[in-house]
Homo-oligomer: A and B are copies of this chain.
Amino acid sequence: MTPPQRNPEDRPVATLLAPDIVALLEESPADIAVETEEIHPADLADVAELLERDQLAKFLTALGPARAADVLEYLDEELRTEFLEAITPRQAAALVSEMTPDDRADTLEEISEEHAEEILSEIPSEARRETERLLAYEPDTAGGLMTTEFVSVSADMTVEAALDNVRQVARSGKKEAMHAIYTTDREGRVVGVMSLRELLAAPTGGKIADIAWTEVQSVRPSADREEVARLIANYDLVAVPVVSESGHPMGVITVDDVIDAIQEEQTEDVQKLGGMEALDEPYSTISFWRMIKKRAGWLSALFLGEMLTATALATYQKYIDERTVLSLFLPLIISSGGNSGSQGTSLLIRALALREVSLPDWWRVASKELATGFTLGLILAVIGFSRIELWQALSVHHWTVFGVEIGHNYDLSLSPTGEQIVHLGQHLPLAITVALSLLGVVMFGTLVGSMLPFIFRGLGFDPASASAPFIATFVDVTGLIIYFNVALHILLR
C-alpha cells in the first residue's frame, strides 16, 4: 500500500486508506503490518479512529506491539483509554512497554488508577520504576513532559569515540531522543551540548570538550511548560534538558512535545478568554454534561456579578422615572466600557505571556492605557454626540428596519407627571451627558481591562482568566454609576 497524497483540508489520507485496511482486515490480516509499513503512525491513528471497536483491536494486533504502540501514541485520548481498559492488563502492558517513557507515563495517567496499576504490575521492573517516577510529576511541568531516554557522552571523549557511541545507540533500535547530544563531566553533571550535525562536522581526533557549547539552556523538573516553551522559542532549540538541582541530567523535553503543549495552552487561553473553564478535551468528543459543567460555572458567576447592575439601577430608578430616555443609552454606554476593557485585557495578556512587559511595568502600562483610554473615549464621545444631534436634526424622516423604527425622535418625557417636553435644545443636555459618560466609561474600562491581567498574575492566577465577559461584567456596574452621576449633574440638575 503506497501512502496516498496528503491533502490537509479534509484529511483524505485516513478516509482513502480506511477501505483498503478494512478489506485487508477481512481477507488477510497477516499482511497488514507489511502493507502499511511506509505509512506514518499519525495517519494510521486517523484510520483507527474510523474503525469499529472490534476491528480496531484486530487492526492493532495485526500491526504488532511496536507499531501498535506508535499508532496508540497518536490516537485520540479517549479512544486510547477505552481500548487499553478493555484489553487484559498483560496485553496493555505489552503495548505500553513499546512506548517512549514519557508517552507511556502520559498514557497511563489518563487511565483509571486501578487499571493503570494492574498494567504497571505487568511491566518489567526497571521500566515500571521509571514510569512511576515520571507519573509523580504534574503533567504540565517539565518533569511531566520529559522523556528519560536521551544521549549523553563524557566531555573527555574523543570525537570518534563519541560518534561510535551515538551510532551504537542509534542502531540499538531504542527510542532515545537524539535531538541534541549532551556532554557530562566526571561527576555526571551536564556541562555542554552539541547537535548531531556538529558532532559529524567535528575534525577527527578532536576532543568533545572542544566542540560542545558550554552554555546549556536547561530547566528544573518543576518548571512550568510555559517556561519550557519560552526557552525553546527564544533560543530556537529542538530539545531542552531537564537537570536536577545538582546539575545532573534527568531527562530531555523534545520540541514536538513542546508544540503540543503550546497548542494546548493556546486552546486553554482562548477558552478562558471566552469566559469559561478550559475544556481539557476536544469539543467534538466531550460529553454534554461535562461541557455544561465547564460553561455553567463562569456563566453563573458572571450572572451573579451582573446582578449588581439591577441593584445599582434600582437606586437610580427615580431618575429613570423622571427621564426614561436615560435608559435608552444604558446598553450603549456600558458596552463601550466592556469593549474597550476587553481590548486592554487581550493586549496585556499576550504582552505578559511573551514577557514584553512584566509585573513591575504596571505603572508604565497604566499611564499609557490612561492616555489611550482618553483618546478612544474622545472618539466615541464625538460619534455619540454627533449621532444624537444629527438624529434629532434629521428626525423628520422615519423608516423601519426589521420592525424597529429608525429616526425615532427621543421621547424626552418627564414622568410621572406625563407632561411631554419635546422641543429643540432639550436634546443638547442629553447629548452632553452621553458624550461625557462615554469618555469616563471608556477611560475606566481601558484602565481596568489593562490592569486586571497584572492583578491576576500578581495573585498567582493565569492572566488569561481575565476574560472579556469578566471585564464587561466588572465594568458594567461602574459604567452605569458613572452614567447616572454625569446625568445627575447635567441632564437632571
Contacts and interface: CB of A to CB of B under 8 A. Distances in A.
Q: Tell me the interface secondary structure of chain A in the complex.
A: helix
> How many monomers of this chain does the complex have?
2
A128 B447 CA distance: 48
B413 A299 contact: no
A320 B324 contact: yes
Interface string A171-202: 10000001100000000000000001110110
Contact of A200 (B170, B235, B318, B347): B170
A336 B197 contact: no
A306 B336 contact: yes
Given A40-B217, A372-B291, A331 B476 contact: yes
A271 B40 contact: no
Nearest to A380: B303
Interface string A317-350: 1101100110111111011101110111111111
Nearest to A369: B291
Contacts of A266: 262, 266, 269, 350
A468 interface: yes
Given A324-B317, A404-B315, A340 B417 contact: no
Interface string A256-294: 101110110011011101111001001110001001100
A273 B266 CA distance: 13
Nearest to A470: B339
A387 interface: yes
Contacts of A310: 328-329, 331-332
Given A10-B358, A317-B328, A330-B330, 14 more contacts: A167-B201, A196-B196, A266-B350, A267-B350, A270-B273, A270-B350, A274-B468, A288-B371, A291-B372, A292-B375, A302-B336, A306-B332, A314-B328, A343-B469
10 contacts: A196-B200, A238-B255, A259-B262, A270-B350, A292-B376, A295-B372, A296-B375, A307-B387, A321-B413, A342-B469
Interface of A: 2-3, 6, 8, 10-11, 38-40, 42-43, 166-167, 170-171, 178-179, 196-198, 200-201, 213-215, 217, 227, 229-238, 255-256, 258-260, 262-263, 266-267, 269-271, 273-276, 279, 282-284, 288, 291-292, 295-296, 298-300, 302-304, 306-315, 317-318, 320-321, 324-325, 327-332, 334-336, 338-340, 342-351, 354-358, 361, 368, 371-372, 375-376, 379-380, 383-384, 387, 404-406, 408, 410-411, 413, 415-418, 442, 467-469, 472-473, 476, 480-481
| 5 closest cross-chain pairs (CB), A and B | A274-B346, A416-B418, A468-B468, A170-B201, A327-B327
